[in-house]
């Protein structure tokens, strides 16, 4: 059977062969002609304009000149032999030098014939020179391409003639062999017409060899949209499939537990945002489909109350619930907090962590199996094999990015006839851009207001010069009965990074805050869990005034009495980390402070980050800024999200195209979920053949 040109292996393409195709596979994962053509240029050399020799200003300028040779001459001998040509455009003269192909150049280059040359200039005093420039006859240049593609390469590819220039030659040859029949259209025709896109054939031709800016712009727009659109189709398809195919338990009742808690035990009035989120959750729980919802809200926004009230709905309907936290201390805090909140409405709460052992563990597991514990809080111990629920209807995961995909999947198996409803909580603000990609196949609820009485944290940037004043301020806060966090980026000294580090910082603090007047806890990643928990517990109980830590406290303890967060070498932290650390304070009604300590000299980018944190407490503003600085590939969880990495489109720069792609994908799949209509058959076939199925992570939150 005749294989379409795009699907042919590169081995069989003129100019490539077995050795080069093996290299392309090893170095760039390119196997077929399609792969090669979808490896778009990194940039283009604009050959539409010419410079005058007299206008060249400095060394390393890349220029295109139009003129003629006035002389050629050979100098040196043996390996140092070179050909030198003098090239003029009447505004000045430049020396061109070649160390290779001297015989061929002497035979084929002519004096006083017009040429176009392109290359990088070297300047020695007033003398200009250029080594091995690209040369074309001016008459040919008038009809040739004006934007020259530059492709990414590697040392091995370059050594085999597959540098950018070699690739360009091969791509040009392939495109000359390509017909419109070889590139059938897979986007629906009505879409191409509506969005004024070029055909797939023309987009491929013009992305590699555009003759003007408009051709390049149109080809880029079409191919970027296509990449985003195919990704959105896959994500939205999973979302719709989950909604229609994964059944869930129905919780029709709002009963005594929920109502009594709401009337008698709720410690404060719910905010408008909390009420809105509870309505969204309530709708899911009545729908008959499994709830798969992400609950997002800044530290202190009241996610735990929403989670607890969701648990009470499940209990009112005869189901058990569990809450899984990433660390033992966080699980313990959830346990204490929930137990305290429900003590008046007589709901039994259990806790299962690694340190619950022996007889106590056996008894607890028995009660869970019999259904006598309606709320079980724990760590990943909850998903171990020996843990059997009587009737688990709801699982809540706190800070889900701390759990691996397989760990979260095990919660599904704990349901009896259906998987439990899943509510995932995170204090990490997710940029709206990532809602459409990374979290595009789950529902999202946002708590975007703080409970009444909470004061926004005041954030300041200070340098070493201000340290005495900062310590004076800390002593005042401690005297008022408050506690303080001091966070360092490193544990030990590093020769390469001139940073404050935890050990020397702790020693210096002992001088400024001497015992017994001041007590200091120390927590870092090299300590075992027992040591960490002991030190954290001392701080939680108010036995120590200062907690000196690395970023292990980023997600964890809730100490309403802590009012000051000092972050040393704050320029070394990312925006989302700074925001998370700041969220450790501001838990009580008193005014809290975050002080960002840096040296005098910091980079422009670091100053920008710190200015962002100082100017806003809004997690979403910070998340968007973080995404712009770090890029989507580095956002937490991407590597296990199942979202394909984009090769061409950029989630930030192409945000408008992403929104359009998602809206169109939603509209198409709502009407034609299996893409069976005649308009969408080519699209369905293309998806099945070329777009890898994104693993359906929606099933495991």
pLDDT in tens, 316-359: 999 999 999 888 878 888 998 899 999 889 899 999 998 888 89
Which residues, other chains included, contact 696 with Cβ-Cβ below 8 Å and sequence gap of 6+?
A: 238, 241, 242, 441, 642
Cα torsion for 224, 229, 234, 235, to the nearest 10°? Answer: 90
Q: Worst-scoring range by mean pLDDT, 362-366, 491-495, 537-541? A: 491-495
pLDDT for position 224: 94
In order of start, what are the domains of the chain with their CATH numbers?
A: 1-45+147-183 (no CATH), 48-144 (2.40.50.140), 256-286+302-426 (3.40.50.300), 458-616 (3.40.50.300)
Angle between helices 619-630 and 575-582 (to 10 degrees): 150
Residue 507: count other Cβ atoms within 10 Å of its Cβ.
Answer: 9
562 bridge partner residues: 483
Rounded Cα distance between 619 and 625, Å, is 10
**pLDDT for the residue numbered 322:** 95
What confidence category does residue 197 fall into, taking pLDDT thresholds of 50, 70 and 90?
A: very high
Q: Is the pLDDT of residue 483 over 90?
A: yes
pLDDT digits (tens, 9 = 90+) for 458-482: 999 999 899 999 999 999 999 999 9
Per-residue confidence (pLDDT) for residue 585, from 0 to 100:
87
**Local confidence band at 194 (pLDDT 50, 70, 90 cut-offs):** very high
User: What pLDDT is recorded for position 104?
Assistant: 86
Q: Where are any strands of DSSP class E within 10-56? A: 43-46
Task: Count other Cβ atoms within 10 Å, centred on residue 671.
Answer: 9
Residue 159 buriedness (CB in 10 A; 0-12 / 13-18 / 19+):
exposed
Who wins on pLDDT, 91 or 399? 91
- If you count them, how many residues does the chain have? 701
Distances (CA, A) of 34 to 270, 306, 435, 659: 56, 50, 30, 27
- Span 137-148, pLDDT tens digits: 876 555 455 788
More confident residue, 697 or 517: 517
**What is the end-to-end Cα distance of the chain in Å, rounded?**
44
Angle between helical axes of 213-245 and 200-208 (0-180°, round to 10): 130
Residues facing residue 309 across a β-bridge: none
Q: In this model, does residue 403 exceed pLDDT 90?
A: no
Query: What is the predicted pLDDT for the residue at 490?
Result: 66
Return the pLDDT at 205.
Answer: 94
pLDDT for res 462:
94
Using the 8-state DSSP alphabet, how is residue 265 labeled? I
Q: Is residue 336 classed exposed, middle or buried when 0-12, 13-18 and 19+ CB atoms within 10 A define those classes? A: middle
Q: What pLDDT, on a 0 to 100 scale, did the predictor assign at position 145?
A: 55
- When the pLDDT of each residue in the chain is averaged and rounded to a whole number, the result is 84
Q: Hey, which of 50-59, 65-74, 293-302 has the most confident mean pLDDT?
A: 65-74
Q: Kindly indicate the confidence band of residue 493, based on its pLDDT and cuts at 50, 70 and 90.
A: low
Q: What percent of the chain has pLDDT over 90?
A: 37
Q: What is the pLDDT of residues 552-599, one digit of tens each?
A: 665 556 788 899 999 999 998 888 788 888 888 887 778 999 999 998
The backbone region for 581, taken as left when phi is positive above 0, alpha when psi lies in -120 to 50, beta otherwise, is alpha
Q: What is the CA radius of gyration of the chain?
A: 32
Give, in order, the Cα–Cα distances in Å from 228 to each of 207, 433, 661, 682: 17, 12, 6, 17
Question: In this predicted model, what pLDDT tens digit does every residue of 612-658 receive, in sequence order?
Answer: 999 988 877 887 777 777 665 544 444 434 444 577 887 777 878 88
Segments in 85-133 forming alpha helices (H): 102-108
Would the pLDDT of 495 be above 50?
no
Q: 386-417 b/e with 16+ CB inside 10 Å = b? A: ebebbbbbbbbbbbbbbbeeebbebbbebbee
Is the pLDDT at 301 greater than 70, yes or no? yes
Kindly give the residue spans of alpha helices, DSSP state H, lying in 413-449.
432-435
CB 542 within 8 A of CB 562: no
pLDDT at 639: 40
- 449/399 Cα distance (integer angstroms): 19
- Distance in angstroms (rounded) separating the CA atoms of residues 147 and 43: 9
The predicted pLDDT at position 611 comes to 92
Q: What is the pLDDT of residue 140?
A: 55
- Specify the pLDDT at position 701: 42
Tally of CB atoms within 10 A around 39: 19
For residue 700, name the pLDDT band (cuts at 50, 70, 90).
very low
pLDDT, position 243: 78
């Amino acid at each position: 059977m005749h294989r379409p040109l795009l699907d042919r292996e590169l081995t069989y393409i003129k100019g490539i062969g077995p050795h080069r195709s093996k290299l392309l596979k090893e170095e760039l994962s390119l196997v077929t002609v399609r792969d090669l053509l979808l490896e778009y240029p990194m940039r283009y050399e604009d050959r539409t304009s010419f410079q005058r020799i007299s206008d060249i200003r400095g060394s390393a300028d890349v220029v295109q000149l139009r003129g003629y040779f006035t002389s050629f001459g050979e100098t040196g001998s043996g390996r140092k032999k070179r050909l030198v040509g003098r090239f003029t455009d009447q505004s000045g003269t430049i020396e061109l030098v070649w160390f290779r192909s001297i015989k061929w150049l002497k035979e084929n280059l002519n004096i006083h014939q017009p040429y176009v040359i392109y290359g990088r200039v070297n300047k020695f005093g007033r003398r200009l020179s250029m080594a091995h420039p690209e040369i074309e006859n001016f008459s040919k240049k008038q009809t040739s391409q004006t934007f020259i593609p530059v492709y990414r390469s590697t040392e091995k590819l370059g050594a085999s003639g597959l540098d950018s220039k070699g690739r360009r030659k091969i791509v040009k040859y392939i495109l000359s062999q390509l017909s419109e029949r070889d590139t059938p259209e897979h986007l629906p025709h009505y879409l191409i017409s509506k969005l004024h896109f070029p055909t797939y054939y023309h987009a491929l031709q013009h992305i590699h060899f555009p003759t003007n800016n408009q051709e390049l712009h149109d080809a880029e727009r079409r191919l970027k949209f296509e990449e985003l659109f195919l990704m959105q189709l896959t994500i939205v398809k999973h979302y719709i499939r989950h909604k229609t195919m994964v059944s869930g338990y129905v919780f029709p009742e709002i009963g005594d537990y929920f109502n009594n808690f709401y009337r008698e035990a709720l410690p404060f009035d719910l905010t408008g945002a909390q009420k809105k989120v509870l309505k969204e959750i309530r709708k899911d729980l009545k729908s008959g489909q499994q709830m798969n919802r992400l609950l997002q809200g800044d530290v202190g926004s009241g996610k735990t109350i929403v989670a607890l009230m969701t648990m009470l709905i499940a209990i009112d309907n005869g189901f058990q619930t569990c809450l899984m936290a990433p660390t033992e201390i966080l699980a313990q805090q959830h346990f204490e907090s929930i137990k305290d909140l429900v003590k008046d409405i007589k709901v039994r709460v259990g806790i299962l962590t690694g340190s619950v052992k022996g007889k106590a563990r056996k008894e607890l597991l028995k009660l869970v199996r019999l259904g006598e514990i309606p709320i079980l809080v724990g760590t990943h111990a909850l998903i171990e094999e020996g843990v059997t629920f009587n009737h688990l209807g709801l699982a809540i995961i706190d800070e889900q990015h701390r759990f691996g995909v397989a760990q979260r999947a095990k919660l599904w198996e704990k349901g009896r006839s259906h998987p439990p409803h899943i509510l995932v909580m995170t204090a990490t603000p997710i940029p709206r851009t990532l809602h459409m990609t990374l979290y595009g196949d789950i529902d999202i609820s946002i708590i975007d207001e703080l409970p009444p009485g909470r004061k926004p944290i005041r954030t300041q940037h200070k340098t070493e010069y201000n340290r005495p004043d900062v310590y004076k301020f800390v002593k005042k806060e401690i005297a008022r009965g408050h506690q303080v966090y001091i966070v360092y980026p490193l544990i030990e000294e590093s020769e390469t990074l001139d940073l404050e580090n935890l050990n020397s910082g702790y020693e210096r603090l002992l001088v400024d805050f001497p015992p017994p007047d001041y007590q200091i806890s120390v927590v870092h990643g090299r300590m075992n869990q027992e040591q960490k928990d002991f030190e954290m517990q001392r701080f939680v109980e108010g036995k120590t005034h200062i907690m000196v830590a690395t970023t292990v406290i980023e997600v964890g303890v809730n100490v309403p009495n802590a009012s000051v967060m000092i972050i040393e070498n704050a320029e070394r932290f990312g925006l989302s980390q700074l925001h998370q650390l700041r969220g450790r304070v501001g838990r009580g009604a008193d005014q809290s402070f975050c002080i960002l300590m840096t040296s005098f000299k910091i980079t422009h980018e670091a100053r920008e980050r710190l200015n962002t944190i100082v100017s806003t407490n809004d997690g979403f503003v910070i998340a968007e800024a973080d995404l712009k600085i770090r890029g989507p590939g580095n956002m937490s969880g991407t590597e296990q999200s199942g979202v394909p990495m984009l090769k061409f489109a950029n989630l930030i720069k192409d945000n408008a195209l992403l929104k359009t792609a998602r809206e169109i994908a939603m509209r198409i799949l709502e009407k034609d979920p299996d893409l069976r209509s005649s308009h969408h058959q080519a699209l369905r076939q293309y998806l099945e053949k070329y777009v890898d199925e994104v693993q359906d992570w929606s099933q495991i939150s």
